Copies of this chain bind each other. A is one copy, B any other.
């Protein structure tokens, strides 16, 4: 059996409020305000989590050996983080903002301009604070973390500055808010400077599950409705970037759809290709490629966590578009059982494809030095038995 190098394309980090959170990173004029926010959130977050997940589910996740011994504090402790990741078979990670443990970015900065009660100007302040903290956090092990910066798209010029700063300070991507509230959506030309600067600086766009949803109120079923709809709302920028011609105008721009399943991709592309080939064939002058071709060229998906069923759809999703992620240190993620879950998911996938999905795609996209990571992977990476002879591919005849 050979070991595999694993880059988790979906992990989370944030400064714990218990140690002052982002206070040292925020503009001094906003420190008092941030202190107030932290005090308020310490209460609210607990209630929110209790509504979101079944208590039995939370208890199970808290009851693992690793969680009992403080593993989740890797969200702000960079040394513990690396140890936990290695123990889980992972040698490098892509870091998104957190919020599951009283460590969310200040002033709802990660939630986008459509978040309930969002104050756009304050969100900008929060984004800068988070980005400064994140750059420092990633610098603890620069070859092993790819930080995803926040940008506040209500102010496009400010967002451009945030992207520039992120690139200059070692961060590798930016979070594109999946929802925009009352702003025009992403087919609008107002966002053009953002696409240009991301393409020019090689910063990868990301949407991540968990935002952009409407207010479900304090009603029975609200938590499940959030969990379900948040998936679709996170996919949503895809078709705006395609039909809006953004991928056509910016062929070097890349986007990752993180923690939102991967099985939705083939159907989505099939329906859009059909529209393109039939009802909307007049769009072919403006968009010379099919939606599925823009996908193949510029889009990536991280399922969290990839199922065996999704791995079997890999050709229709695109081997080159698949990333693997653990969601460390979240309750719903694969940590600390990633090795076992990877082996199950990729049971009947060839070695070459396994390497693409587990590390090569992410390394090329984020600029990780794979020779350096492979050296660590040979020590800590999961061992997976050789692929079993595959059963006849289901669905092959359908298309």
List residues of A whose CB falls within 8 A of some B CB.
52-57, 184-185, 187-189, 214, 216-217, 219-225, 227-229, 231-232, 236, 239-240, 242-245, 261, 263-264, 267, 271-272, 275-276, 278-283, 286, 309, 312, 332, 391-392, 394-399
Whether the pair A282, B54 counts as a contact (CB closer than 8 A) is yes
Q: Which of A244, A261, A312, A396: most chain B Cβ within 10 A?
A: A244
Whether the pair A229, B239 counts as a contact (CB closer than 8 A) is yes
CA distance A239 to B221 in the complex (A): 9
Add 7 more A-B contacts to A223-B280, A312-B398, A395-B395 (CB < 8 A).
Answer: A54-B278, A188-B219, A221-B283, A224-B243, A225-B239, A231-B271, A279-B332
Whether the pair B391, A394 counts as a contact (CB closer than 8 A) is no
Task: List 19 contacting pairs A-B, 8 Å CB cutoff, sorted by A.
Answer: A52-B279, A53-B280, A54-B279, A54-B283, A184-B217, A187-B222, A187-B225, A188-B219, A219-B244, A220-B286, A224-B272, A224-B279, A227-B275, A227-B280, A228-B243, A228-B275, A229-B239, A267-B267, A394-B394
Given the known A-B contacts A57-B279, A188-B219, are A239 and B228 also in contact in the complex, defined by CB atoms under 8 Å? yes
CB distance from A64 to the nearest CB of B (A): 16
CA distance A72 to B114 in the complex (A): 43
- Copies of this protein in the assembly total 2
CB distance from A185 to the nearest CB of B (A): 7
CA distance A399 to B307 in the complex (A): 11
CA distance A332 to B279 in the complex (A): 8
Given the known A-B contacts A56-B282, A188-B219, are A391 and B397 also in contact in the complex, defined by CB atoms under 8 Å? yes
CA distance A217 to B183 in the complex (A): 12
CB distance from A391 to the nearest CB of B (A): 6
Q: Which residues of B contact A228 (CB under 8 A)?
A: 239, 243, 271-272, 275
Q: Which residues of B contact A189 (CB under 8 A)?
A: 219
Whether the pair B57, A281 counts as a contact (CB closer than 8 A) is yes
CA distance A214 to B214 in the complex (A): 13
Nearest-CB residue, chain B, relative to A222? B187
Q: Which residues of B contact A276 (CB under 8 A)?
A: 224
Whether the pair A278, B224 counts as a contact (CB closer than 8 A) is no
Whether the pair B224, A55 counts as a contact (CB closer than 8 A) is no
The 6 closest A-B pairs by CB, nearest first: A221-B243, A54-B282, A224-B280, A394-B395, A54-B281, A224-B243
Whether the pair A187, B395 counts as a contact (CB closer than 8 A) is no
Q: Which residues of B contact A271 (CB under 8 A)?
A: 228, 231, 261
Whether the pair B279, A227 counts as a contact (CB closer than 8 A) is yes
Whether the pair B187, A220 counts as a contact (CB closer than 8 A) is yes
Whether the pair A214, B185 counts as a contact (CB closer than 8 A) is yes
Q: Which of B221, B244, B275 contacts A245 (CB 8 A)?
A: B221
Whether the pair A57, B398 counts as a contact (CB closer than 8 A) is no
CA distance A283 to B280 in the complex (A): 43
Q: Which residues of B contact A217 (CB under 8 A)?
A: 184, 188
CA distance A223 to B272 in the complex (A): 12
Whether the pair A221, B187 counts as a contact (CB closer than 8 A) is yes
Nearest-CB residue, chain B, relative to A214? B185
Q: Which of A229, A239, A261, A394: most chain B Cβ within 10 A?
A: A394
Nearest-CB residue, chain B, relative to A396? B394
Q: Which residues of B contact A216 (CB under 8 A)?
A: 185, 187
CB distance from A284 to the nearest CB of B (A): 9
